[in-house]
Amino acid sequence: VNIFLYGPPGVGKSTVGRILAGRLQREFVDLDDLIVQRTGRTIGAWFCDGEAAFRAVEATVCREVAGPGNRVVALGAGALLDPATRAEITRDNLVVCLRAELATLVSRLGDGGARPLVATADVPSALGALLVSRAALYDSFPEQIETAARTAGAVVSAIEARLRPRTLAIPRLRQNVVVGYGLLEQLQPMLVEHGVNGPVVLVTDSHVADALRPRLLAAWPTIVLTPGEGSKRMGEIERLASRFLASGLDRQGTVVALGGGVVGDIAGFAAATFMRGVAWVNVPTSLLAMVDASIGGKTGVDLPEGKNLLGAFHAPALVVADPLALGTLPRQEFAAGMAEVIKHALIGDPALFEALERNGRFGSIDDLTAAIDVKRRIVEADPFERGEREALNAGHTIGHALEVVSGYTMRHGEAIAIGLVAEARMAEDLGLAAPGLAARIEAVIRRFELPVSAGDVDPEALRRATTSDKKRANGAVRFVLPAAIGRVVRGVRAEPAMVYKSCASIVA
């Protein structure tokens, strides 16, 4: 995987890049140097023709070094201004954004040197204006490294720490979760390292196969499913089992699921039942699958009567989450996963919640690890859903009712986002949470492009739908309600009038 270093002028991209490449024993590319090499003209000369001419040649050279490889690339400070270039680079390369405040940058830049955009008499004001106009751009990359008061060597160490995979263990499910950049490309050796030595069959869907399979470099027999919830049917399990047999899978074999929650649930259930159970490895590629569906061992398919009605607890021995897989995920699918991330932060990680509020950004390796860890802790405490695990149902009672009332046309994550808001309001009404909690939750949900109201829905129909949630105990609807950021109360019974009020608050 290529590592692109980005950030404002003077932040130290080239210095840091050279040291990082040395430590990792990788090729180092300074994009400005390469432009000079390729075109035979200095950056200053290019700028004389105008910034647009320079950006065009810069984009071409940038694409050249973004192809498969293991380079460390120091970018020019404006190289990712163009959305098309940015999209192409972030799709399957790691971008690390180096940061420092104005005073530090000014002192590092000295007289402005070879950087045409700030080579004026007044470097501080030129650079200050540039930082303001590019703030949103620089803020948008999940991996951010503060460089002020750090030596270049220390910055490199901080980057190396982000590159190191993290392992989270769920001993009671005998499940290990590894999160790390570039793991997709190392899947085959990784499986061998984890003791997989029998036959392997890969199950994926066609979207994921198109987006990611070229990066897998795996030579396993592959079964490609039709994307979408519609594939989660029993017939698909039977079909998979036959394909497993034809591919030579036996009891010593391993099923590898590569995809979102749909692929994981189907492949996992097939693994649970094929020859009374074979091992499986889950490689989640959607945000929802990374932070939620791949953790905890539930597998299954739908029945015409409802979702997930047929299934088994069968945890994958290993979950491999590569944050770079998210680079090809459609925007709306990312947002849908964010609903579960916000839920996890709300029920078990106040620091993560505050980071979401503060930054409006998610996706670094630390972010993902934190979101996964909330679910890990809960399923480890209650692997078979007898108590604590119920906390994961926050936002889901009203969220599920919304799905039902919409005839499942609403995306799960969107329904949960709205459900979180409605249930937080109910918590305030019941005096379980202090006033203001619902507003905080609503603000975060809006920030991540998720809806907070449901449009034209009948609140009474919605209230009634909550009473048919499969998770009710003895007929009474039990809510999991937030008491504060990081703390929920389980098993709350609410009067119908109270439920109605909260349902009415989220319809337009």
Ligand X SMILES: NC(=O)c1ccc[n+]([C@@H]2O[C@H](COP(=O)([O-])OP(=O)(O)OC[C@H]3O[C@@H](n4cnc5c(N)ncnc54)[C@H](O)[C@@H]3O)[C@@H](O)[C@H]2O)c1
| Binding residues for ligand X (CB under 6 A) | 205, 207-208, 211-212, 227-229, 232, 259-263, 265, 285-286, 288-289, 292-293, 296, 298, 307-308, 325, 328-329, 333, 336
Nearer to ligand X, 16 or 416 (CB): 416
Least Cβ distance, residue 268 to ligand X (angstroms): 7
Least Cβ distance, residue 371 to ligand X (angstroms): 13
- Which DSSP string do the residues of 404-443 spell out, in sequence order? HHTTT-S-HHHHHHHHHHHHHHHHHHTTSS-TTHHHHHHH
> Which residue among the candidates 13, 232, 396, 463 is catalytic per the annotation?
396
Q: H/E element holding 491?
A: strand 487-493
Nearer to ligand X, 55 or 215 (CB): 215
Gap between the Cα atoms of 332 and 315, Å rounded: 28
Known catalytic membership, residue 474: no
Known catalytic membership, residue 340: yes
Least Cβ distance, residue 415 to ligand X (angstroms): 12
Known catalytic membership, residue 412: yes
- Which DSSP string do the residues of 185-230 spell out, in sequence order? GGHHHHHHHTT--S-EEEEEEHHHHHHHHHHH---S-EEEEPSSGG
Q: Which tokens belong to 161?
A: 């720490």
Sign of CA dihedral 274, 278, 281, 287: positive
Cβ atoms of 1 and 323 closer than 8 Å: no
> Which residue among the candidates 344, 400, 411, 478 is catalytic per the annotation?
400
Among all chains, which residue has been given the structure tokens 């024993």?
25
Known catalytic membership, residue 298: yes
Known catalytic membership, residue 314: no
Nearer to ligand X, 162 or 389 (CB): 389
Known catalytic membership, residue 442: no
H helices within 27-122, ranges in order? 31-39, 43-48, 51-65, 83-92, 102-109
Least Cβ distance, residue 91 to ligand X (angstroms): 9
Known catalytic membership, residue 207: no
Known catalytic membership, residue 344: no
Nearer to ligand X, 80 or 212 (CB): 212
Nearer to ligand X, 35 or 318 (CB): 318
424 phi/psi in degrees, rounded to 5: -65, -40
Q: Which tokens belong to 37?
A: 């090499």
> Which residue among the candidates 412, 425, 463, 478 is catalytic per the annotation?
412
> Which residue among the candidates 185, 333, 340, 390 is catalytic per the annotation?
340
Q: Which of 505, 503, 485 is nearest to 494 (CA)?
A: 503
Least Cβ distance, residue 7 to ligand X (angstroms): 26
Cβ atoms of 394 and 433 closer than 8 Å: no
Nearer to ligand X, 184 or 465 (CB): 184
> Which residue among the candidates 88, 385, 388, 449 is catalytic per the annotation?
385
Least Cβ distance, residue 296 to ligand X (angstroms): 5
> Which residue among the candidates 115, 343, 389, 463 is catalytic per the annotation?
389
- Angle made by CA atoms 474, 479, 484, in degrees to the nearest 5: 150
- Annotated active-site positions, please? 276, 298, 340, 375, 385, 389, 393, 396, 400, 412
